[in-house]
């Protein structure tokens, strides 16, 4: 196995140091919001966003005024993209069935898919107004049937962004707040004097938002660890350097710490892509951000074979994996650890980010090893139930339960079973004893 790095990003130890600094800042900020509520939220908004309105919650009139600032074409595009997300979410919802089965005569088992009762959707927007993130969280929660959906986004250039607010409103948000960063996430999760806390937080964000969700997990549910953005290109010589470089930098512009990796079996393509990245960075309007990400987090890895490329890709478990090879479906069949796949040169990550219909809130930092991305199922809780409809079934299952509880030493548990065996089976079981099996009774 021969794997060559033509370019490496920051060493893991430096990335860990960055994470530790972020962790401390988030911990202090969450404690501030928990202790001081609205006052802390306002002070943080003033400090980080220079924004301190009379109220952070938008009124119906505020929302209508903001939507009126959009052109008919902008509104139509927002609604088109949102409908693609809704369509796919509806199809996914249709795959999740409530079930009820009779596993033994008189024994009924089942499960129900119940919506989470309140969800806080964070929509990033400090650097770029992330209109699409509202579709991914708010609209998907609406398809799932969540009865209370609140949404929070930072001000953009000192005021609410009309596109983001429109997407939140059309998506089905019941409450909309203009609050960004840690303070926005904390207010939704912990609650304040004016904001009722939610049961679950969803949505992507920068390193601080992702860390805040990690620290809040347990007090509330979360969708997954999502952010900062990551992208990987798996390519061979069926594509050229322009495509690879464009797709790498298209995601690197998200932030200064967005990993972008080219994984290829072609040294020629790798070298040409490095040169093409330098060329594009000279003309890209967002080059300041993309250049920092590429410098510190960009990597180019050359492998000998497709099998090696597969192994490296699964180990990295990138959020976005774009596959442009002569065997795209082979990677679809064999890859196991990633956020989402983008197969073939005709599609790209930006399609998934903005319009095609799959959800763009995806696992980062290797979380793709154990979870997929946000989808309608994340907003649903699958709860089981059981019932016994006959005396015979109550006595039979109860006898098994009694013996198994005694085997483990749980006498109180055993008595829960025994009292049913006595009442519904007519057997006189000594207190704390294991119920006999019917075969044992017959032999006796």
Can you give the residue range of the structural domain that contains 433? Answer: 391-443
Does residue 288 fall inside a structural domain?
yes
Does residue 167 fall inside a structural domain?
yes
Q: For the chain, how many structural domains are there in total? A: 3
Same domain for 323 and 364, yes or no, is yes
Does residue 324 fall inside a structural domain?
yes
Question: What phi and psi, each to the nearest 5 degrees, are found at residue 169?
Answer: -65, -50
Taking the C-alpha atoms of residue 173 and residue 194, their distance in angstroms, rounded to an integer, is 17
pLDDT digits (tens), the chain, 444 positions: 589 999 998 888 888 888 899 999 999 999 999 999 999 999 999 999 999 999 999 999 999 999 999 999 999 999 999 999 999 999 999 999 999 999 999 999 999 999 999 999 999 987 889 999 999 999 999 999 999 999 999 999 999 999 999 999 999 999 999 999 999 999 999 999 999 999 999 999 888 999 999 999 999 999 988 878 999 999 999 999 999 999 999 999 988 889 999 999 999 999 999 999 999 999 999 999 999 999 999 999 999 999 999 999 999 999 999 999 999 999 999 999 999 999 999 999 999 999 999 999 999 999 999 999 999 999 999 999 999 999 999 999 999 999 999 999 999 999 999 999 999 999 999 999 999 987 776 665
Does residue 73 fall inside a structural domain?
no
Q: Read off the CATH number of the domain in which 322 is found.
A: 3.40.50.1980
Taking the C-alpha atoms of residue 8 and residue 170, their distance in angstroms, rounded to an integer, is 43
String of DSSP letters for 182-222 = HHHHHHHHH--SSSPPPSEEE----HHHHHHHHHHBTTBEE
Same domain for 25 and 154, yes or no, is yes
Same domain for 50 and 192, yes or no, is yes
Domain end call among 373, 403, 427: 373
Same domain for 295 and 219, yes or no, is no
Does residue 105 fall inside a structural domain?
no
Does residue 10 fall inside a structural domain?
no
Same domain for 48 and 140, yes or no, is yes
Same domain for 194 and 298, yes or no, is no
- Burial of 192 from C-beta contacts in 10 A (0-12 / 13-18 / 19+): buried
What residues are labeled active site? 319-320
Same domain for 132 and 186, yes or no, is yes
Does residue 75 fall inside a structural domain?
no
């Amino acid at each position: 196995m021969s794997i060559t790095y033509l370019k490496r990003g920051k060493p893991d130890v430096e990335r860990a140091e960055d994470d530790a600094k972020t962790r401390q800042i988030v911990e202090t900020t969450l404690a501030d919001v928990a202790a001081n509520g609205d006052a802390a939220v306002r002070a943080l908004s003033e400090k980080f966003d220079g924004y301190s309105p009379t109220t952070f919650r938008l009124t119906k009139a505020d929302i209508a005024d903001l939507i009126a600032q959009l052109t008919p074409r902008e509104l139509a595009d927002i609604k088109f993209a949102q409908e693609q997300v809704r369509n796919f979410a509806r199809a996914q919802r249709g795959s999740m069935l409530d079930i009820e089965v009779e596993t033994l005569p008189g024994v009924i088992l089942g499960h129900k898919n119940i919506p989470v009762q309140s969800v806080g959707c964070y929509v990033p927007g400090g650097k770029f107004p992330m209109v699409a993130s509202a579709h991914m969280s708010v609209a998907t929660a609406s398809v799932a049937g969540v009865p209370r959906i609140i949404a929070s986004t930072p001000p953009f250039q000192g005021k609410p962004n009309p596109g983001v607010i429109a997407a939140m409103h059309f998506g089905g948000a019941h409450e909309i707040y203009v609050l960004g960063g840690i303070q926005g996430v904390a207010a939704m999760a912990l609650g304040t004097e004016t904001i009722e806390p939610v049961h679950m937080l969803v949505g992507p964000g920068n390193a601080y938002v992702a860390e805040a969700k990690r620290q809040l997990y347990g007090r509330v549910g979360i969708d997954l660890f999502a952010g900062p953005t990551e992208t990987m290109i798996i390519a061979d010589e069926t594509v050229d350097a322009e495509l690879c470089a464009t797709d790498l930098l298209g995601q690197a512009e998200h932030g200064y710490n967005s990993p972008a990796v080219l994984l290829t079996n072609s040294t020629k393509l790798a070298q040409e892509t490095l040169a093409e990245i330098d060329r594009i960075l000279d003309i890209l309007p967002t080059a300041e951000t993309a250049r920092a990400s590429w410098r510190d987090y960009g990597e180019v890895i050359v492998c000998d074979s497709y099998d090696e490329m597969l192994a490296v890709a699964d180990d990295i478990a990138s959020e976005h994996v774009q596959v442009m090879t002569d065997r795209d479906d082979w990677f679809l069949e064999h890859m196991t650890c990633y956020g989402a796949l983008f197969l073939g040169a005709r599609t790209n990550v930006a399609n998934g980010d903005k319009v095609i219909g799959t959800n763009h809130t995806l696992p980062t930092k290797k979380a793709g090893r154990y979870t997929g991305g946000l989808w309608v199922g994340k907003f649903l809780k699958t709860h089981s139930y059981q019932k016994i409809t006959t005396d015979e079934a109550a006595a039979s299952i109860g006898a098994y339960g009694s013996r198994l509880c005694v085997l483990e030493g749980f006498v109180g548990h055993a008595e829960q079973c025994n009292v049913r065996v006595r009442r519904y089976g007519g057997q006189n079981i000594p207190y704390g004893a294991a119920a006999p099996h019917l075969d044992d009774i017959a032999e006796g």
